[in-house]
Amino acid sequence: MSPAKVESAQTRGYIVPIGGAEDKEEGASILRKFLEVSGGDSARIVIIPTASNLADTGRRYEKLFRQLGADEAKSLPLATREDAAKQEWLDYIEKATGVFITGGNQLRLSTILGGTDVARAIRRANARGVTVGGTSAGAAILSEHMIAFGAEGHTPKAGAATLVPGFGLTNRIMIDQHFRQRDRLGRLLTALAYNPFAVGVGLDEDTAAFLDSTKTITVVGNGAITIVDVSELTHSSIAEVKEGQAVSLTNVRLHVLTEGGTFDLETRKAQAPKR
């Protein structure tokens, strides 16, 4: 699943994966920043609560974005694949300046929305400058390859991560969320061992990666982002070991970045936050 083509007169919008459990009541720094890059008080935010089984999830985010100053916030009740073909909902995405995908079960997102008109509309929207972000499951679905589920723990093990296609807004990163809180380094390393092309982005809770059109990630939030760079990987045993066995990986680079830190996906250079 490749990102939609950016036309010559346009600039790709921000891609904003959030690690889950973002602050919604105190400073709400991540949601405020999301709103800012989506047009500020002129923002028209579309919310996609498909991953959640809770009936009020969409309405809650509608209220949050309106309280933060959005001009409009509309939740789309996309519960079936048939819903994802309704022109009424596609028109909302066409007019949006920001699309926000809530948390829940990421397999609900992939099975209900994967390959639909809504998924294509979201990719096209991002290519013409619309900010697209999501929290928890909504973060995982943004990239080309999504970690659907896997084992906890620090050590990469064969079979510790199961991948499915995501929405394909970017093929440069692979995302894992609730990262430190649920001890997910091992499964992210396993996912990268399968195909060491993408950069691993492990998002702590209440922490977001704001990926801009220059392909630079900037950290916002109260936790950290773990960047796993396998571009200079010299060895992986993933093809030889049996299910459940530890995987050997050499020459992996790892960065831990807090708010204000950046990572350039082109140069693979990390910058610590400025004091």
Could you say which DSSP state residue 105 is in? -
Tokens describing residue 218: 């900037």
Spatial distance between the Cα atoms of 150 and 271, rounded to a whole number of angstroms: 30
- Two structure tokens written together for 139: 């973060």
Cα 74 → chain centroid: 20
Could you tell me the sign of the dihedral formed by the alpha carbons of 182, 108, 161, 19, in that order?
negative
Considering only CA atoms, which of 127, 73, 115 is closest in space to residue 96? 73
Q: Tell me whether residue 235 is one of the annotated catalytic residues.
A: no
**Sign, CA torsion 165/105/93/209:** negative
Q: Which of 136, 143, 144, 145 is catalytic?
A: 136
Residue 38 designated active-site:
no
Distance in angstroms (rounded) separating the CA atoms of residues 7 and 79: 32
Selecting among 62, 178, 236, 255, the annotated active-site residue is 178
| 178 labelled catalytic | yes
Cβ(15)–Cβ(201) below 8 Å: no
Integer angstrom CA distances of residue 11 from 109, 120, 236 = 26, 18, 37
Token pair of 231 as six digits: 């571009």
Candidate list 38, 205, 236, 255, residue with the active-site label: 205
Q: Which residues are catalytically annotated?
A: 136, 178, 205
